[in-house]
Amino acid sequence: MVWLYLLIGFVFFLIGLLVGFFLTRMIIIRELKKNPPINANMIRAMYKQMGRKPSETQIQAVVSAMMRHKQ
């Protein structure tokens, strides 16, 4: 009888892991669609909104700084 309880507990544990994995995956995909990662075109647009004309070197410097910060 104890083995049956352990088996049922283990099955529910596995079901919980699978549900948690897919639920977390769905939430992360939805958030990435709403807030995509920043790329060079977005940085250019931000510079233009500030009234500046950035050089390609400045854009690449910002992109590399953001990549270093993510890690």
Stated as kind and residue range, the H or E segment containing 36 is none
* pLDDT value for 59: 92
Reported as a pLDDT band with limits 50, 70 and 90, residue 68 is confident
Domain boundaries, the chain: 1-36, 38-71
* pLDDT value for 22: 97
* pLDDT value for 71: 61
- The pTM assigned to this predicted structure is 0.59
Is-contact 47 54, C-beta < 8 A? yes
Mean pLDDT estimate for the chain: 92
Measured over the CA atoms of residue 25, residue 30, residue 31 and residue 35, the dihedral's sign is positive
Q: From CA 29, how far away is CA 37, in angstroms rounded? A: 12
The answer, yes or no, to whether residue 30 has pLDDT greater than 70, is: yes
* pLDDT value for 25: 97
